[in-house]
Chains A and B, each alone.
Chain A
Amino acid sequence: MISTDTNHQQETIAAQATGGGEAAIAVIRVSGPLVPGLVSAIYHSPPPPPRKFARGKYRNVRGEVLDDTLHCRFPAPRSYTGEDVLEISCHGNPLIARSILRDLSARGCRLAEPGEFTRRAFLNGRMDLSQAEAVIDIIRARGDRALQVARHQLQGGLGKRVKEFIHELLEILAGLEAYIDFPEEDLPVEDPEGPVKRIQRLDTAVARLIKTARYGALLREGARVLIIGAPNAGKSSLLNRLAGHDRVLVSNQPGTTRDAVEERIPVGDHCIRIMDTAGLRSHGDQLETMGMRKTLEYAEEADFFLLLLDATLPHPALPVSLPGLLTPDNTLVVHNKIDLLPNQTVQPWGSDFKQISLSALTGEGLDDLEAAMNDLIEATNPVAAEEFVVIGARHAEALETASVSLEESHSLLLNHEPTELAVSHLRTALHHFGEITGQVDNEAMLDRLFANFCIGK
């Protein structure tokens, strides 16, 4: 159901304010009647004066701190939308923005539709009628972008899974509806257990997908990056730098980075996954050789490469199979340990490759790496991360509400309550799945019904 109430006093909407662009912070905007109550509920402190920024710990409904944020409220009607508005600036990490949005929906907000803030602003008279054209352009652009993102996401596993859910749900529904709409037909004896079991199974599958979605199927599957470098080039140190904490044991003993650690790290608007860090070695013990072979296997799957060179040493020889994989589109050449170089000049590796100089020890040049990494990913990915977050959160919300409806219908059927009540919940579930894949026409259910049952006198 599209919520386009003209009398939009009812629903409070939330979304990441797009266009911020900066990776360092994300702004989440909330608009609607729930806003006045939200501030104290979230920050456990009285709301700051209007239009003044306040700092506070964002706590979710369970009281857990999600982030240290700045917030500012704009009471109606002097706000962007003309309604009560709250703006929250949190850290740019997409996971954080997303968890805040999830929490806001748990508090009764609904994720805004593309361009909805602007539309509300317009309908509430915050904009001049002459701006209608501009408003329409914004809605169009946002809507197209959202569609593009959603389509992109649906090409992946999520879309396939949800379509399977819909298929199964339609089968279940057709089975139940047949007995409601065709009581005089010569149908097989109704089996109340069948649908109960099938709903249970379906819900389990949905719950599993939600768990995956919770950390963001897409973010989880973020760009896979393989760091390649000679022993002691500083791979572990760089990883620690990027990850921001001591995840990997660093030692000056070559070859200590033994476990294949995969760390998801926000980089600019994106998220990367550092693959195997066992290191490339041309010598060493049995174990390390295996680690190296594995690194080469990883290379086949990697989306991007960081070729890490010790700037104080001559370029090492790479295993023969590697150079073919490295291209300027997928590789950054990183010269480490520049703190040890008095004049900081490095010997470039390859032609056309972007060269970055940094020190994993001091952190110098790390921003350059992140920026270059971001550009590299951006160049292959048409869609901005902030929109992934919103769409991702929308999908997670849809799955969760669908799951709640499935559970309701399950318990109704289990308790032998009238089928039409259970069906009412199942249809709600179908509607929520439809929010992800596009709504399913009732004809699809009827098709199943008439294919599975011989109806017609």
Chain B
Amino acid sequence: MKNVFDVIVCGAGHAGCEAALSAARLGANTLMLTGNLDTVAQMSCNPAIGGQAKGHMVREIDALGGEMAINTDVTAIQFKLLNASRGLAVQAPRAQSDKKAYQFRMKHTLELQPNLTLFQATVTGLIFENGKVVGCRTNLDLDFHGKTVVVTTGTFLRGLMHIGQNKNEGGRMGDSSAKTLSASFLDAGIELQRLKTGTPPRIQGRTIDFSVMEEQRGDPTPTLFAFHDTRQDSDLFHVEQSGEDRPGWEPGVRQISCWITHTGDQTAEIVHKNLCRSPLYGGAIEGTGPRYCPSIEDKFVRFADKPRHRLFLEPEGRSTNEYYINGLSTSLPFDVQVDLVHSIPGLEKARILRPAYAVEYDFAPPTQLFPSLESKKVENLFFAGQINGTSGYEEAAGQGLVAGVNAVLKGRGEDPMVLSRQECYIGVLIDDLVTKGTLEPYRMFTSRAEHRLLFNHGSAEMRLYHHARKHGLVCSERLQRMEAKKQTVEDWTARLNTGRTPNGTFGELVRRRESDIPFPSEFNYLSAEIRSEILYRVGYEGYLKREQAQVEKVKSMEGLRLSPGIDYGRVRGLKKECADKLAEIRPFTLGQASRISGVTPADIHILMVHVKAGLDKKASDRPEAAL
């Protein structure tokens, strides 16, 4: 193995996998290092992909040539469309995963990927030269050099797991923690802070009494994540089939059910009696946990009037009898966990396979990053995933893809790919992270997007097509299909809006929600997805136009680039607080600058004049021309 690469990816979680694949697919000679090749793409927490906003992001990842969507489609054991009774913009696909199948297929995809080298080694430190990263060191005393390095080490940095008073070092149960890497970041001037998250116990299926629980089946017709209409059938391979002729796999067959139960009569009492033994309440944990993912202790304390809480039992895969208790995250001691589980209807005799635990870890506040996910402190160093303060597989994967692409572009001296918050959830995610930072593990919600109505999951390919084309993120065949699809949708939208029937235009009939609209027969031949997209655009025309108009208004600001070299302290007219803020965030565009708290419209006007007058350039050439 020659130890010089274009891109080195540290970590093989969801962020690392997408980063490595996107870099290699762009033709960069890529190395992926991970402490344990058996835990590639591991789902540390619940066995599910998608859901509100997350499902949207998975589809966006697919539109950008990522792997998460297709990997989920092929391996998932249950599919459900959420919010099916609401409008298209807030419907989202969700799937129960077969954790092992997901990992195997992802690992195999990595193995088959040209330009990609996998290697098992723990990264112990980065190698810096002149304020730039040039490679990394490993526990095997092997050094690797790369033009750019992408760090995706998740919860592993000084990871500390808590079960009651019991503490173990580790990034997640069964994996060791990365201890020395944190020091390497601190040395480079990168600030680190602490966060925490938790996971519920896993139990053995044959000790569960399902008869007292409510069955939750998947949808008979699965809503898939990947855009199969533009992808090739050969993408649909199963691990067992690789290397063969790959006859294709039909996703969504043989689905497995989940089961619903709830906390029992004694559960609250058990929690209250043992609160003092919880590291969360005892003060042993200093990191901030997420508001949206409270432990069972939190639920009973903060919502004391709610007598019981719903729990889901989710199978972890086809070839295992392990079940995940969704809703029972806790860091209470193991003996209390046993009592808790036994207090739940249907789990009276259940046996715990793995205890619940909380994990504390270092993260690098993401305001230290540019929207390309490159560090402001160390050139050529990129960060993606939970290390940026996010939580969730989809959030990690979306960042990983962007970081992978940008690591390649950076190495080639090209402009980065920046997804804007006006076009996709991944854009909202990254913009929030780098502009505002986060105080808790950041999870995506649809309400975080200003223009949610424009972000329906089915339109992801059309929204992101221009990025895919510009950077060659998908093969040319798929690009052509994407283009054709986009054209069809636009043509038909126009046609229905103007085409007349005796009772008004088709558009009017759709908006009046009439049944049995006599659409032209060619329309009925279009695929269901395309028809649904067209009908959405026609039916919600007024709303979509309104939101689009708002997007147009800010577009020119989003398009106005601010050079990272601006010395804000010397920009005439900026208040000190504001200049400090701008210098810290170093916004990429004027639009991003306007979203920084404390930056006023007047400041934005001043920056605009400053840039227009070319003062940003002059200032660096001639420092005496201070302005």
Tell me, yes or no, whether A253 is within 8 Å of chain B by CB: no
Tell me, yes or no, whether B604 is within 8 Å of chain A by CB: yes
Q: In whole Å, how far is B392's beta carbon from the nearest beta carbon of chain A? A: 13
Contact at A136–B83, with CB atoms within 8 Å? no
Q: How distant is the Cα of A353 from the Cα of B302 in the complex, in angstroms? A: 64
Tell me, yes or no, whether B208 is within 8 Å of chain A by CB: no
B-contact 0/1 string along A169-186, CB 8 Å cutoff: 000000001001111111
Contact at B326–A457, with CB atoms within 8 Å? yes
Contact at B453–A181, with CB atoms within 8 Å? no
**CB-contact partner of A1 in B550, B556, B606, under 8 A:** B550
B-contact 0/1 string along A128-158, CB 8 Å cutoff: 0100110111011011101100000000000
Tell me, yes or no, whether B528 is within 8 Å of chain A by CB: no
Tell me, yes or no, whether B445 is within 8 Å of chain A by CB: yes
Q: In whole Å, how far is B496's beta carbon from the nearest beta carbon of chain A? A: 20
Tell me, yes or no, whether A456 is within 8 Å of chain B by CB: yes
Contact at B609–A135, with CB atoms within 8 Å? yes
Tell me, yes or no, whether B567 is within 8 Å of chain A by CB: no
CB-CB under 8 A for A132 and B447, given A4-B605, A182-B52: no
CB-CB under 8 A for A181 and B605, given A132-B610, A420-B86: no
Within 8 A of B (CB), among A411-449: 418-421, 423-424, 427, 441-442, 445-447
Contact at B302–A115, with CB atoms within 8 Å? no
Tell me, yes or no, whether B472 is within 8 Å of chain A by CB: no
Contact at B605–A132, with CB atoms within 8 Å? no
Contact at B605–A119, with CB atoms within 8 Å? yes
Residues of A within 8 A of B94 (CB): 184
Contact at A454–B601, with CB atoms within 8 Å? no
Q: Please, how many residues of chain B have a CB less than 8 angstroms from a CB on the other chain?
A: 65
Contact at B609–A446, with CB atoms within 8 Å? no
Contact at B309–A420, with CB atoms within 8 Å? no
Q: How distant is the Cα of A183 from the Cα of B553 in the complex, in angstroms? A: 32
Residues of B within 8 A of A234 (CB): none
- The closest CB in chain B to the CB of A177 belongs to B447
- The closest CB in chain B to the CB of A6 belongs to B556
**CB-contact partner of A420 in B90, B298, B303, B615, under 8 A:** B90
Residues of A within 8 A of B52 (CB): 180-183
- The closest CB in chain A to the CB of B326 belongs to A457
Within 8 A of A (CB), among B513-556: 540, 543, 546-547, 550, 553-554, 556
Contact at A427–B450, with CB atoms within 8 Å? yes
Q: How distant is the Cα of A147 from the Cα of B598 in the complex, in angstroms? A: 12
Q: How distant is the Cα of A423 from the Cα of B446 in the complex, in angstroms? A: 12
Tell me, yes or no, whether A116 is within 8 Å of chain B by CB: yes
Contact at B543–A137, with CB atoms within 8 Å? no
Tell me, yes or no, whether B470 is within 8 Å of chain A by CB: no
Residues of B within 8 A of A122 (CB): 609, 612-613
CB-CB under 8 A for A454 and B560, given A129-B614, A181-B446: no
**CB-contact partner of A5 in B89, B556, B601, B613, under 8 A:** B556
Q: In whole Å, how far is B624's beta carbon from the nearest beta carbon of chain A? A: 15
Contact at A114–B602, with CB atoms within 8 Å? yes
Tell me, yes or no, whether B597 is within 8 Å of chain A by CB: yes
Tell me, yes or no, whether B376 is within 8 Å of chain A by CB: no
Residues of A within 8 A of B51 (CB): 184
Residues of B within 8 A of A445 (CB): 447
Q: How distant is the Cα of A10 from the Cα of B573 in the complex, in angstroms? A: 27
Tell me, yes or no, whether A113 is within 8 Å of chain B by CB: yes
CB-CB under 8 A for A2 and B86, given A123-B609, A445-B447: no
Q: How distant is the Cα of A5 from the Cα of B291 in the complex, in angstroms? A: 38
Contact at A143–B601, with CB atoms within 8 Å? yes
Q: In whole Å, how far is B422's beta carbon from the nearest beta carbon of chain A? A: 12
Q: How distant is the Cα of A4 from the Cα of B602 in the complex, in angstroms? A: 10
Residues of A within 8 A of B445 (CB): 177, 181, 446
CB-CB under 8 A for A136 and B572, given A181-B52, A421-B453: yes
Tell me, yes or no, whether B338 is within 8 Å of chain A by CB: no
Contact at A186–B572, with CB atoms within 8 Å? no
Residues of A within 8 A of B83 (CB): 180, 183
- The closest CB in chain B to the CB of A115 belongs to B605
Residues of A within 8 A of B312 (CB): 457
Contact at A441–B82, with CB atoms within 8 Å? no
B-contact 0/1 string along A1-43, CB 8 Å cutoff: 1111111001000000000000000000000000000000000
Q: In whole Å, how far is B323's beta carbon from the nearest beta carbon of chain A? A: 14
Q: How distant is the Cα of A281 from the Cα of B172 in the complex, in angstroms? A: 88
Residues of A within 8 A of B436 (CB): 441
Tell me, yes or no, whether B448 is within 8 Å of chain A by CB: yes
Residues of B within 8 A of A441 (CB): 436, 597
Contact at B309–A186, with CB atoms within 8 Å? yes
CB-CB under 8 A for A181 and B53, given A3-B553, A454-B302, A456-B299: yes
Q: In whole Å, how far is B51's beta carbon from the nearest beta carbon of chain A? A: 7
Q: How distant is the Cα of A426 from the Cα of B522 in the complex, in angstroms? A: 39
Tell me, yes or no, whether A455 is within 8 Å of chain B by CB: yes
List 11 other contacts, CB 8 Å, given A132-B615, A441-B436, A454-B302: A2-B594, A6-B560, A114-B601, A122-B613, A136-B573, A137-B573, A143-B602, A143-B603, A144-B602, A180-B90, A184-B82
28 A–B contacts, CB within 8 A, in A order: A3-B553, A4-B557, A4-B594, A6-B556, A6-B557, A6-B560, A7-B556, A113-B601, A113-B605, A122-B609, A123-B609, A133-B627, A142-B602, A143-B603, A180-B86, A183-B83, A185-B310, A418-B90, A419-B86, A420-B90, A424-B453, A424-B546, A445-B447, A446-B445, A454-B294, A454-B299, A454-B303, A457-B46
